[in-house]
């Protein structure tokens, strides 16, 4: 039993108390150990007071109860690949790493379900279920590293969610630990259709309502066959218009990805995926399903691409060629290191028909602020990913210019009828911008939901909602 301590304890006293509670091997607390938990895939940093490495739901429950009793913030963390600062302990406290809760507990083939712990790597689940002819659909670009718990927290998407939906469409049950240590179960293997959708409430809540300790997901039969093609266009306008035309023709591919020339050049230098280097924009399109009829759909897509002046159309002839094409797309963010030591990525969403207009605005904003921007994104659902490049070695003004560019882009997305985020989450990166999209009454309603599950406000504080200390400088009126 832990020694009684004062409320709001921090530092070495907290580390010692947690080691007594959980065991010394489950708690990190030296400056060197804490250093790697200061950041995720975004640009903000903050140092935790301690890091816990639970091995069971009972560990998480005991930890949460302790933190509740002593007013200590608690921040869940998967693989640290998040892009909105969701795993950053902005108010200190305890980071809960799920590296040791990474087991696939059950693969239920007859019911097309799997039960996993939150630390399971996304791709590992599909690899484990492939011998049964099944896979887990949501496939973020970081799927080789990101965890299912992180996917649930951020409601992650990926290229192939155009036709199949994002994480919330593939989760049917959750085991949760609330901020006071209470363990609850929501849903299960069945798809619930009555009452409040509490599973859906937690998926995408970014750890602000409680901590997920077990996940029940849908498994999907592997498609019988696939066709993957790459089409190159003189400009991004033609590529964007092609996307709208494909959907308008009644064709919903499993994926439509777009990259501009700058992104393509970086990817080719990094991965050698076989992308044309002289194109203003390229589309990577994939269709899947029953083998019969796939080639007919592919021919229709090719015809639409030619009608929009595609200079090159190539269909992957082998599984290896297809994998190379996708390796390029999924390695695009990492490839940016060939262009710049630092980048700031956004993921606003816009209607597909507004793509040409918004992409022109992205270019103009970059030129106005003196930053280079590469574009690689999920064009099918209008989820843009401008990669704003900067170099912190040249001083803090570099990051500020990148952030100013980001604000302009997100504002344009909302004004076009879109949203602030499609899959990366709000976190501490966009919480100051929430008033761009939501009225005070909307934010108040969301706050009441959080207060219902986390009345003490200890679950991942400083995320999603605008915070007075960080957001007072942001003037909404000045940006309208």
**φ/ψ (deg, to 5) at 181:** 95, -5
Q: Is residue 473 part of a domain?
A: no
What is the pLDDT at residue 308?
A: 98
CA separation for the pair 82, 150 (Å, rounded)? 8
* Inter-residue contact 71 to 113 (CB < 8 Å): no
172 and 125, same domain (yes or no): yes
- Based on the fold, state whether residues 61 and 119 are members of the same structural domain: no
Q: Which of 56, 71, 97 is the last residue of a domain?
A: 97
- According to the model, what pLDDT value does residue 472 have? 63
| Same domain for 147 and 83 | no
Domains in the chain: how many in total? 4
Q: Are residues 430 and 376 in the same domain?
A: yes
CATH of residue 420: 3.30.70.2740
DSSP annotation of 77 reads E
Residues of the chain with pLDDT under 50: 1-6, 476-480
Q: Listing from the earlier edge strand, what are the strands of the sheet with 183-187?
A: 104-108, 113-116, 211-218, 171-177, 183-187
Q: Residue 3 has what pLDDT?
A: 37
Assigned domain for 478 exists: no
Three-state SS at 198: helix
Q: Is residue 480 part of a domain?
A: no
Q: What domain range includes position 325?
A: 225-335
Using one digit for the tens of pLDDT, what is the confidence trace for 96-151?
999 999 999 999 999 999 999 999 999 999 999 999 999 999 999 999 999 999 99
Q: Are residues 229 and 217 in the same domain?
A: no
Quick check: helix, strand or coil at residue 390?
strand
Domain C-terminal end among 335, 355, 378: 335
Judgement on whether residues 321 and 232 belong to the same structural domain of the protein: yes
Distance of CA 399 to the CA centre of its chain: 21
Do residues 241 and 263 share a domain? yes
CA 430 to chain centre: 13
| Residues 213 and 243 grouped into a single domain | no
Residue 229 lies in a domain: yes
Identify whether 471 is part of a domain.
Answer: no
- The CATH number of the domain holding residue 21 is 3.30.43.10
The CATH number of residue 204's host domain is 3.30.465.10
Cβ-Cβ contacts under 8 Å for 261 (sequence gap 6 or more): 277, 278, 279, 280, 281
Q: Is residue 462 part of a domain?
A: no
CA separation for the pair 14, 49 (Å, rounded): 7
In terms of domains, do 88 and 183 share one?
no
Say if residue 90 is in the same domain as residue 125: no
> Among 82, 97, 112, which residue terminates a domain?
97
| Per-residue buried b or exposed e for 61-85, using 16+ beta carbons within 10 Å of the residue's own CB | bbbbbbbbebebbbbbbbbbbbbbb
Count H helices and E strands in the chain, helices first: 17, 18
205 shares a domain with 118? yes
Is position 376 within any domain? yes
Pairing relationship of beta strands 211-218 and 74-77 according to DSSP bridges: unpaired
Strand pairing category for 386-390 and 342-345: antiparallel
Residue 3 lies in a domain: no
Say whether both 354 and 445 belong to one domain: yes
CATH number at residue 262: 3.30.70.2190
């Amino acid at each position: 039993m832990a020694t009684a301590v004062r409320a709001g304890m921090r530092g070495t006293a907290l580390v010692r108390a947690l080691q007594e509670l959980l065991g010394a091997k489950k708690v990190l607390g030296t400056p060197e150990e804490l250093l790697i938990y200061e950041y995720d895939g975004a640009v903000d940093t903050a140092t935790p007071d301690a890091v816990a490495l639970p091995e069971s739901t009972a560990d998480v429950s005991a930890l949460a109860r302790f933190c509740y009793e002593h007013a200590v913030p608690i921040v869940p963390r998967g693989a640290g690949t998040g892009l909105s600062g969701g795993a950053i302990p902005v108010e200190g406290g305890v980071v809960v790493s799920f590296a040791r809760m990474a087991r696939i507990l059950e693969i239920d083939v007859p019911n097309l379900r799997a039960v996993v712990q939150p630390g399971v790597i996304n791709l590992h689940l599909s690899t484990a279920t492939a011998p049964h002819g099944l896979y887990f659909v949501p496939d973020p670009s970081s799927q080789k590293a990101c965890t299912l718990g992180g996917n649930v927290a951020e409601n992650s998407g990926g290229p192939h969610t155009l036709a199949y939906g994002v994480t919330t469409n593939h989760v049917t049950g959750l085991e949760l630990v609330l901020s006071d240590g209470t363990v609850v179960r929501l849903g299960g293997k069945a798809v619930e259709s009555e009452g409040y959708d509490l599973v859906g409430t937690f998926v995408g809540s970014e750890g602000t309502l409680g901590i997920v300790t077990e996940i029940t997901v849908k498994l999907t039969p592997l498609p019988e066959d696939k066709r993957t093609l790459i089409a190159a266009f003189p400009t991004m306008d033609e590529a964007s218009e092609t996307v709208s035309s494909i959907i308008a023709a009644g064709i919903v591919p499993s994926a439509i990805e777009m990259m501009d020339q700058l992104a393509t050049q970086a990817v080719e230098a990094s991965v050698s995926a076989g992308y044309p280097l002289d194109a203003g924009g390229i589309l990577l399109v994939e269709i899947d399903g029953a083998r019969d009829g796939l080639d007919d759909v592919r021919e229709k897509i090719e015809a639409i691409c030619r009608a929009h002046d595609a200079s090159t159309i190539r269909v992957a002839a082998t599984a290896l060629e297809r994998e190379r094409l996708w390796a390029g797309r999924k390695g695009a963010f990492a490839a940016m290191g060939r262009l710049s030591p630092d980048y700031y990525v956004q993921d606003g969403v816009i209607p597909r028909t507004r793509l040409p207009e918004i992409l022109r605005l992205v270019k103009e904003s970059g030129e106005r602020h003196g930053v280079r921007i590469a574009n690689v994104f999920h064009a099918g659902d209008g989820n843009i990913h401008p990669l704003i490049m900067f170099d912190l070695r040249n001083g803090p003004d570099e990051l500020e210019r990148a952030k100013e560019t980001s604000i302009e882009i997100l504002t344009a997305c909302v004004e076009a009828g879109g949203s602030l985020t499609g899959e990366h989450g709000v976190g501490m990166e966009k919480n100051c911008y929430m008033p761009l999209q939501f009225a005070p009454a909307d934010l108040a309603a969301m706050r009441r939901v959080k207060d219902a599950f986390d009345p003490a406000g200890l679950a991942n504080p400083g995320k999603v909602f605008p915070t007075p200390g960080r957001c007072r400088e942001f003037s909404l009126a000045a940006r309208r």
